[in-house]
């Protein structure tokens, strides 16, 4: 004991000595004076006192006030200074990977250390930490997985849960767990951090836990609604128009093009008819608008206006996703109205951007240049860019919603909430008074909901249900009823039913051994099952690659002007397989080959592939392999050939896809010259236009298996693969004797298979053996 004590004392002293030494460096000193100006600094003593006296504390404050970078650091400094450094282990969760990294890096540099020393991070597939690490940033998902191994979070002294106001599904889930854990871990301190939204809700949930508000320090931000923006841009164009003297041909031409531009602007917006519809009812008009995407022409005109007529300062544009960002990037690149191209620095900011150095986004641009950041709602609260003076807000964000009745996930840009609009506007007032250009009418703003619906109420729940079982949190229904806002009963039932269908839960809703395996794989349970089947049936490499693409993102990029060429490239990868999944696989293999021979760049360019996504897929593939080895489905010492006997057999690969993705099946039915597609739940669906199967009139095989069904303008199945009835018969669906007693029926009568009862018995036996392999 004495020995341990003295080792601890030594470590405590070392940590303190290092911290003190760094304080003398010029860089840390400069950072320190920046830190002292942040609003969080003023509440430091109050904050430390509050966590000393309370087990749970809710902290709220305007975005940028220093919650994320300062509060965990205050705890760290305090623990080290009072010689408790050896025993302290602070964890802070972030909803997004990108913020976990950027914050850990920022704090390390504020402390004058390298990343991974006292401060580190851990996200899926990536970690930078060491034995020395005392403050660890991680994604909420990483913490949840740790809870599965260690339900009491042994050794963690402080847990900070960040961005709880966003009401992500993982965060809401974590809060239920923490509320139960707190009485069993009296020494654990829990700090919940939120933007200035609804802090009371969280305090109440934790038995009226104390709250600490950090008063903001922001400048006023003027707000312009669509009507004002149009008038302003119109006014300027018009007044210039009037000012143009003389009537040389060139001038007149210029005038005409301006006029055209103006009419186009109004044509696109069709403001008149919108206003007319507002007259009816705001709800209806919101719905009328909800189908339309955002108007990039209007965004562009607004940028032109700011660049030409407003003072210096960075512009932050809120868009809905990568699609708009890349389209606008292309437009802006050729737009001379923004000024000489050397005068603007246009940067994208998106949650799934590669985890590269993001310095440019935070840094001041070089003198004479204007920084324009094109961002998704990630810039709304988790990332703060200080020098923003102008915000351009399209008013929408991509939001998932879940239609429990039709078992359908929808991903559509939809109007944000008033709370989000307020957040976005606030981003313009960090260093000086700013302006927020809202590209929607005031009346739309008035009709926006106060808050966004929490994610737990608008996503499929199967992964969450699996987590609940693996963490041994009791019956799914009663556990979820303890949530801040419990999800709909039907949504919970759907998730349980799906998990039973794929064999992850038994009839009593208990986890089967297969279910337990699926919990260890950080992917959707269907994709997890595909991985297991790939290892059992010796198709491992294709399963790993396709799973990586489905779990991460499609490596095919969508160029705006070259859509047809891109579709063609994808089709040529698919060959005659009638499969988007095979196209993915072949593209990946081609990339590997090209990389080996040094023409990665041209290969990706010619085939419309994202090298960054492919690289990420490659990394994920290795991670999945390690996980499969951990649970005993792969013995790495046997080498890859032991698991890839059938990897080049595309029929086998398609059968494995069927086994994994079941029950996502559509039946192809001939309707005259065309084929119609039916699913069990929603009836007729369409094939997504980006699929290699779009436009095929006759499929060789009677079914398609798909990875995702989405509702946008219609109900589409995204990536699909044509499969045979035999694959279904062996790997999916319920087998029941047909009414005549002779054949087999499956999928509620979709598949009729005429065979004797003995064949049915044989298939049952084969499936029984397969179940044993999956449940080993």
Q: Pick what 102 binds: Mg ion, ligand ADP, none; C-beta below 5 to 8 Å, kind-dependent.
A: ligand ADP
Residue 733 and residue 751 in contact, taking contact as beta carbons nearer than 8 Å: yes
Q: Out of 15, 51, 60, 66, name the contact with ligand ADP by CB under 6 A.
A: 66
Count of residues making up the chain: 776
CB of 419 to ligand ADP, least distance (A): 15
CB of 179 to Mg ion, least distance (A): 22
Q: Mask of contacts with ligand ADP, 323-362, x by CB under 6 A?
A: ---------------------------------------x
> What is the spatial distance between Cα 438 and Cα 395, in angstroms, rounded to a whole number?
7
Strand segments, DSSP code E, in 79-186 are 90-94, 119-123, 126-128, 135-139, 158-161
Structure tokens that stand for 93 in this block: 């969760």
Residue whose CB is less far from ligand ADP, 383 or 476: 383
CB of 37 to Mg ion, least distance (A): 17
Nearest CA to 299 among 323, 318, 275? Answer: 318
> What is the spatial distance between Cα 615 and Cα 493, in angstroms, rounded to a whole number?
38
What DSSP letter does each residue of 737-754 carry, written as one string? E-TTSSSEEEGGGTEEE-
Residue 669 and residue 678 in contact, taking contact as beta carbons nearer than 8 Å: yes
Residue whose CB is less far from Mg ion, 167 or 517: 167
Cα dist from 655 to 536, 542, 728, 730, whole Å? 12, 12, 8, 9
Locus of tokens 């961002």: 375
**Degrees (nearest 5) of the Cα angle 399, 404, 410?**
25
Task: Give Cα 480 distance to the centre of its chain.
Answer: 23
Could you say whether residue 61 binds ligand ADP (CB under 6 A)? yes
CB of 63 to ligand ADP, least distance (A): 4
Q: Pick what 512 binds: ligand ADP, Mg ion, none; C-beta below 5 to 8 Å, kind-dependent.
A: none
Could you say whether residue 63 binds ligand ADP (CB under 6 A)? yes
Residue whose CB is less far from Mg ion, 137 or 415: 137
Structure tokens that stand for 442 in this block: 């005031």
CB of 412 to ligand ADP, least distance (A): 28
Residue 66: phi and psi, rounded to 5, are 110, 15
Nearest CA to 677 among 631, 722, 613? Answer: 722
Task: Tell me the pairing of strands 388-393 and 434-438.
Answer: parallel
CB of 67 to ligand ADP, least distance (A): 3
Residue whose CB is less far from ligand ADP, 34 or 266: 34
Prior bond of 663 cis (ω within 30°): yes
Structure tokens that stand for 232 in this block: 């302003």
Could you say whether residue 70 binds ligand ADP (CB under 6 A)? yes
Residue whose CB is less far from ligand ADP, 39 or 525: 39
Residue 150 and residue 163 in contact, taking contact as beta carbons nearer than 8 Å: no
Q: Pick what 203 binds: ligand ADP, Mg ion, none; C-beta below 5 to 8 Å, kind-dependent.
A: none
Q: Out of 22, 31, 38, 676, name the contact with ligand ADP by CB under 6 A.
A: 38
CB of 386 to ligand ADP, least distance (A): 4
Q: Out of 15, 43, 58, 65, name the contact with ligand ADP by CB under 6 A.
A: 65
Q: Pick what 362 binds: Mg ion, ligand ADP, none; C-beta below 5 to 8 Å, kind-dependent.
A: ligand ADP
Residue whose CB is less far from ligand ADP, 61 or 743: 61
Q: Out of 67, 370, 570, 586, name the contact with ligand ADP by CB under 6 A.
A: 67
Which 472-511 positions form the footprint of ligand ADP (CB under 6 A)? none
Which 367-386 positions form the footprint of ligand ADP (CB under 6 A)? 384, 386
Strand-pairing partners, residue 705, are 665, 721
Query: 3-state DSSP call for residue 398?
Result: strand
- Per rule CB under 6 A, count of chain residues that contact ligand ADP: 15
Q: Out of 102, 170, 512, 721, name the contact with ligand ADP by CB under 6 A.
A: 102
Q: Which residue is nearest to Mg ion (CB)?
A: 68
Residue whose CB is less far from ligand ADP, 68 or 577: 68
Nearest CA to 395 among 421, 369, 377? Answer: 421
Could you say whether residue 218 binds Mg ion (CB under 5 A)? no
> What is the spatial distance between Cα 658 and Cα 502, in angstroms, rounded to a whole number?
12
CB of 382 to Mg ion, least distance (A): 6
Residues 6+ apart with CB under 8 A from 587: 555, 556, 570, 573, 607, 609, 614
CB of 82 to ligand ADP, least distance (A): 23
Query: 3-state DSSP call for residue 221?
Result: strand
CB of 166 to ligand ADP, least distance (A): 12
Residue whose CB is less far from ligand ADP, 110 or 725: 110
- Per rule CB under 5 A, count of chain residues that contact Mg ion: 2
Residue whose CB is less far from ligand ADP, 122 or 693: 122
Residue 529 and residue 502 in contact, taking contact as beta carbons nearer than 8 Å: yes
Could you say whether residue 68 binds ligand ADP (CB under 6 A)? yes
Structure tokens that stand for 432 in this block: 């000086």
Which 62-91 positions form the footprint of Mg ion (CB under 5 A)? 67-68
Could you say whether residue 69 binds ligand ADP (CB under 6 A)? yes
Task: Kindly tell me the burial class for residue 642, based on how many C-beta atoms sit within 10 Å of its own C-beta (0-12, 13-18, 19 or more).
Answer: middle
Residue whose CB is less far from Mg ion, 41 or 726: 41
- Report H helices in 88-139: 97-110
Residue whose CB is less far from ligand ADP, 61 or 663: 61
Q: Pick what 64 binds: ligand ADP, Mg ion, none; C-beta below 5 to 8 Å, kind-dependent.
A: ligand ADP
Which 105-134 positions form the footprint of ligand ADP (CB under 6 A)? 106
**Rg over CA atoms, the chain:** 28
Stretch that binds Mg ion, among 61-69, 118-126, 344-352, 761-769 (CB under 5 A): 61-69
Query: 3-state DSSP call for residue 668?
Result: strand
List contacts with Mg ion (CB under 5 A).
Answer: 67-68
List contacts with ligand ADP (CB under 6 A).
Answer: 38, 61, 63-70, 102, 106, 362, 384, 386
């Amino acid at each position: 004991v004495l020995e341990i004590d003295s080792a601890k004392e030594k470590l405590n002293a070392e940590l303190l000595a290092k911290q003190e030494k760094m304080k003398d460096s010029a860089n840390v000193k400069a950072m320190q004076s920046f830190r002292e100006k942040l609003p969080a600094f003023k509440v430091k003593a109050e904050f430390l006192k509050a966590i000393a006296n309370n087990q749970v504390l809710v902290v709220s404050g305007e975005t940028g006030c220093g919650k994320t970078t300062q509060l965990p650091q205050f705890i760290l400094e305090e623990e080290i200074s009072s010689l408790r450094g050896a025993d302290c282990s602070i964890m802070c969760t972030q909803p997004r990977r990108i913020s976990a990294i950027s914050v850990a890096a920022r704090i390390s540099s504020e402390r004058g250390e390298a990343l991974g020393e006292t401060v580190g991070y851990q996200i899926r597939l990536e970690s930078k930490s060491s034995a020395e690490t005392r403050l660890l940033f991680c994604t909420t998902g990483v913490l949840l997985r740790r809870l599965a191994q260690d339900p009491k979070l042994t050794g963690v002294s402080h847990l900070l849960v960040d961005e709880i106001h966003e009401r992500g599904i993982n965060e809401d889930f974590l809060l239920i767990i923490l509320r139960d854990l707190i009485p069993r871990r009296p020494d654990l301190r829990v700090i919940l951090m939120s933007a200035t939204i609804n802090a009371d809700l969280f305090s109440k949930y934790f038995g009226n836990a104390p709250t600490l508000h950090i008063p903001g320090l922001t400048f006023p931000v003027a707000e312009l609604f669509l009507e004002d923006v149009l008038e302003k841009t119109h006014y300027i164009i018009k007044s210039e128009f009037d000012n143009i003297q003389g009537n040389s041909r060139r001038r007149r031409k210029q005038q005409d093009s301006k006029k055209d531009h103006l009419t186009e602007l109004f044509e696109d917006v069709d403001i008149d008819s919108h206003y007319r519809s507002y007259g009816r009812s705001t709800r209806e008009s919101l719905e009328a608008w909800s189908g339309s995407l955002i108007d990039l022409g209007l965004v562009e005109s607004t940028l032109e206006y700011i660049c030409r007529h407003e003072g210096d300062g960075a512009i932050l544009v809120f868009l809905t996703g990568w699609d708009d960002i890349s389209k606008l990037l292309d437009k802006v690149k050729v737009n001379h109205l923004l000024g000489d191209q050397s005068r603007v620095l246009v940067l994208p900011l998106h949650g799934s951007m590669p985890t590269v150095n993001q310095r440019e986004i935070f840094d001041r641009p070089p003198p004479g240049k204007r920084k324009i950041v094109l961002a998704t709602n990630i810039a709304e609260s988790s990332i703060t860019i200080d020098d923003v003076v102008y915000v351009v807000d399209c008013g929408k964000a991509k939001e998932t919603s879940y239609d429990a009745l039709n078992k359908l996930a929808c991903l559509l840009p939809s109007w944000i909430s008033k709370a989000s609009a307020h957040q976005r506007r606030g981003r313009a007032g960090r260093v000086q008074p700013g302006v927020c250009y809202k590209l929607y009418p005031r009346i739309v703003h008035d009709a926006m909901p106060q808050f966004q619906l929490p994610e737990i109420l608008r996503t499929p729940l199967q992964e969450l249900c699996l987590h609940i079982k693996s963490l041994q949190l009791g019956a799914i229904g009663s556990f979820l009823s303890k949530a801040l806002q419990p999800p709909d009963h039907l949504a919970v039932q759907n998730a349980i039913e799906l998990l039973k269908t794929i064999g992850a839960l038994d009839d009593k809703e208990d986890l089967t051994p297969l279910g337990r395996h699926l919990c260890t794989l950080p992917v959707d349970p269907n994709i997890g099952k595909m991985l297991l089947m790939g290892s059992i049936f010796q198709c491992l490499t294709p399963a790993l690659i396709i799973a990586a693409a489905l779990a991460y993102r499609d490596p095919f990029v969508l160029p705006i002007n070259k859509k047809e060429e891109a579709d063609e490239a994808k089709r040529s990868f698919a060959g005659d397989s009638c499969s988007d999944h095979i196209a993915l696989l072949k593209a990946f293999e081609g990339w590997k080959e090209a990389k080996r021979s040094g023409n990665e760049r041209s290969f990706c360019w010619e085939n419309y592939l994202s090298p960054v996504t492919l690289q990420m897929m490659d990394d994920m593939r290795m991670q999945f392999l390690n996980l499969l080895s951990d649970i005993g489905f792969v013995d790495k010492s046997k080498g890859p050939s032991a698991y890839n006997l059938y990897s080049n057999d595309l029929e086998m690969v398609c059968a494995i896809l069927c086994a994994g993705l079941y029950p996502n099946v559509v039946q192809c039915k001939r309707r005259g010259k065309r084929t119609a597609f039916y699913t069990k739940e929603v009836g007729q669906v369409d094939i997504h236009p980006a699929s290699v199967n779009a436009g095929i009139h006759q499929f060789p095989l009677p079914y398609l298996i798909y990875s995702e069904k989405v509702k946008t303008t219609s109900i589409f199945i995204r990536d699909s693969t044509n499969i045979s009835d035999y694959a279904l018969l062996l790997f999916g669906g319920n087998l029941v004797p047909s009414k005549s007693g002779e054949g087999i029926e499956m999928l509620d009568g979709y598949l009729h298979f005429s065979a004797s009862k003995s064949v049915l018995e044989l298939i049952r036996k084969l499936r029984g053996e397969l179940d044993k392999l999956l449940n080993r």
